[in-house]
Amino acid sequence: NPKAFIFDLDGVIVDTAKYHYLAWQKIANRLGIDFTHEHNELLKGVSRIRSLDIILGLGNVEASQEDKDKWLVEKNEDYLNYIVNMKEDEILPGVVRVLQYLKDNGQKIALGSASKNARPILEKVGVLHFFDAIVDGNDVTNAKPDPEVFLRAAQLLGIPADKSIVFEDAVAGIQAANAAKMVSIGIGDATTLNEAQYNFNDFTEINTDFLQTLVNK
Ligand code: BG6
Ligand code: MG
């Protein structure tokens, strides 16, 4: 009986935070808002709309819905200009090995991301074919830490939540996995992600013995 292995995208499969940062910075600069790398950490796992609100909050900037909508479009157009140039070498270390191992062992693989750009990114970096299901920002109404995105992914795979495993780099994502009663695996700083059941700095630390333990659970 296969398990469902559900991957977050940004910060787990690819390091797109730098591109989000560059695109948001243009908007912030124009509005005279100081937007640092530390501020960018606040946007991990957070939806596009919520990200803009956080940035405007940093500068105590009030804006009309019309302006906000315009900036959201501009930000995304700019972000997409970075995405089109992405290559396979931007996949984070160890990710392809883990995906390949799971595929070779008959496991089900899904994406569970807040991004509305998930498909083109997976395609650009050449890993789209690994995924049996994709649930992204176009499909869900409730953002992480709500478990909706992961529950939908497991459902599409036909696997119960308690037979599902989630890889996440954001606190809200770990909380979503826990709320879904799935196994939560934190990728990144273990102190930040201390609510995760397991922690690794990156996928190079995840060996096949550990993956096999998850498969046999
Ligand atoms: C998440 C990122 O995966 O997707 C966030 O961690 C981002 O930083 C969110 O804001 C939405 O992404 P997009 O591509 O729809 O703007
Ligand atoms: Mg993420």
Atom of ligand 1 nearest to the CA of 114: 4
Q: What is the number of the ligand closest to the CA of 168?
A: 2
Query: pLDDT of 171-204, one tens digit each?
Result: 999 999 999 999 999 999 999 999 999 999 999 9
> Which ligand number lies closest to the CA of residue 170?
2
Task: Quote the pTM value.
Answer: 0.96
Is 104 catalytic? The answer is no
167 — phi, psi (to 5°)?
Answer: -105, 125
- The residue type found at 77 is E
Ligand 1 neighbourhood includes 46 CB (under 6 angstroms)? yes
Pocket of ligand 1 contains residue 108 by CB under 6 Å: no
Residues 203 and 93: beta-carbon distance below 8 Å: yes
Reduced to 3 states (helix: H, G, I; strand: E, B; else coil), residue 208 is helix
Residue 69 annotated among the catalytic residues of the structure: no
- Quote the CA–CA distance of 106 and 26 in Å, as a whole number: 44
Tens digits of per-residue pLDDT, 66-102? 999 999 999 999 999 999 999 999 999 999 999 999 9
ipTM over 0.90: yes
Give pLDDT, residue 14: 98
Burial 117-149, CB ≥16 within 10 A → b, else e: bbbebbebbebeebbbbbbbbebbeebbbbbbb
CA of 66 to the centre of ligand 2 (A): 28
pLDDT tier at 158, thresholds 50, 70, 90? very high
Element (H or E) spanning 21, and its range? Answer: helix 17-30
176 in contact with ligand 1, CB cutoff 6 A: no
Tokens for 215?
């498969």
Tokens of 27: 């908007």
Where is 15: in which H helix or E strand? none
Residue 174: per-residue pLDDT: 98
Q: How far is CA 116 from the centre of its chain?
A: 11
* Average of per-residue pLDDT values in the chain: 97
* Mutate-to-test residue for ligand 1 from 7, 18, 48, highest number of ligand atoms within 8 A of CB: 48
